[in-house]
Amino acid sequence: MKAARLYGAKDVRVEEVSDLPLSGPNAVVEVEWCGICGSDLHFYLGGGVSGVELQDKCIMGHEICGRVVYAPPGSPVEQGQAVMVDPRIYCTSCSNCTKSRTNGCNVLRGLGVIGSSGGLSERVLVRPSMLYALPDSVDLSTAALIEPLAVAMHGVKLSGILQGDRDAATALILGGGPVGIGVVQVLRAFGVTKILVSEPSTARREYVQRFGVTAFDPLAVDVKTESLAATGQRGVDVVFDCAGAAAALKDGLGSLCFGGRYVNLALWETEIPLSLTELTRREIHLVGSCAYDDSDFKETVDALIEGKFTDLSSMVTARIPLDDIVTKGLNALLEEGEKHIKIMVNPKL
């Protein structure tokens, strides 16, 4: 079968690899669509992502939907079933897994990342328990968005905003890229409507406004002033950092209300100076949101099936064959990333 393997920095090759056995304890999924993630770009450029590394010559891709071509006895799904794949591989037995904190598994690996081949391939091996059945009503050409949406779901749940008055709460999202848009989608799906997005790119601001949010340019206006004006001078309840930039962090902290939550979903290349005294005087909760757990993934699948997300197809800005993964996928994202939200790859094209 064909698959995209990473040989080294900027060296991804689509080539023939061994077919997968239609036997044994793992299911085999024929990939319909696999999204390209920002972390895939980091891997492509030759860098790991916050300590996560790719195996040598690993088949990339972890945003995977497809159809089951082999299911071992006892699987929750049957052959032919359309499925979304939770790409995580956790141990089930460490101190975090046994507390349902599978996102903190002490030896966490993942399809297309550490330890197992991924979905930029015609077929992929998956633990049966990580397969989520998708009904015929779901459009498979957008279903792989479930994975990045689950990342956003976890951050939104950590923020506590769903436990408060969702009508009254205001969220500020720093960065209108794929992660920021995912957070917008999840917030809206769960009834939070007062959403501000701070994003310097005009194209991205114009795009994100279709979701009914207030988008502004942090290079042209003062983010704190905008945030206070939007909240009767109170400050926003939650900031989602989907930018990973020092200036945005300063804007975000300044915009929070007393007791507000700052949820980081961004990757940071270096340490950043923070005033713990300011955080303390204003009782700010700073929390890092790491991937997602089983319940986040399931709730995201359910929300997508129930049609709670808005205009998903607009988030897919290119659909390409696997053969074009480098030119029209990875390089396109690197060279003209602001034109894209999500590029989906289809090994059958």
In this structure, the chain runs to a length of 349
Query: What are the phi and psi torsion angles at 151 (to 5°)?
Result: -60, -45
Residues binding a second copy: what is the number (CB under 8 A)? 41
d(CA 146, CA 65): 9
Q: How far is the CB of 55 from a second copy (least distance, A)?
A: 19
Query: Considering the rule CB under 8 A, would residue 265 count as an interface residue with a second copy?
Result: yes
C-alpha–C-alpha distance, residues 127 and 123, integer Å: 13
Q: Residue 94 burial by CB count (10 A; 0-12/13-18/19+): exposed, middle or buried?
A: middle
Residue 232 contacts a second copy per CB under 8 A = yes
Residue 272 as a binder of a second copy (CB under 8 A): the answer is yes
Site for a second copy in 150-169 (CB under 8 A): 158
Read off the amino acid at residue 321. Answer: P
Residues 311-330 within binding reach of a second copy (CB under 8 A): none
Dist CA 150 CA 155 (whole Å) = 9
Which one of 22-30, 189-197, 263-271, 307-315 is the stretch in contact with a second copy (CB under 8 A)? 263-271
- Selected from 268, 305, 318, 328, the binder of a second copy by CB under 8 A is 268
285 closest CA partner among 273, 276, 293? 276
Q: Does 107 sit near a second copy (CB under 8 A)?
A: no
Cα–Cα distance measured from residue 254 to residue 256, given in angstroms and rounded to the nearest whole number: 6
32 close to 21: Cβ distance less than 8 angstroms: no
Does 53 bind a second copy (CB under 8 A)? Our answer is: no
**Stretch touching a second copy by CB under 8 A, among 81-89, 110-118, 208-216, 279-287:** 279-287
User: Does 274 sit near a second copy (CB under 8 A)?
Assistant: yes
The least distance separating a second copy from the CB of residue 149, rounded to whole angstroms, comes to 18
Binding site for a second copy (CB under 8 A): 50-51, 95-96, 101, 103-104, 158, 232-234, 241, 244, 257-259, 264-268, 271-290
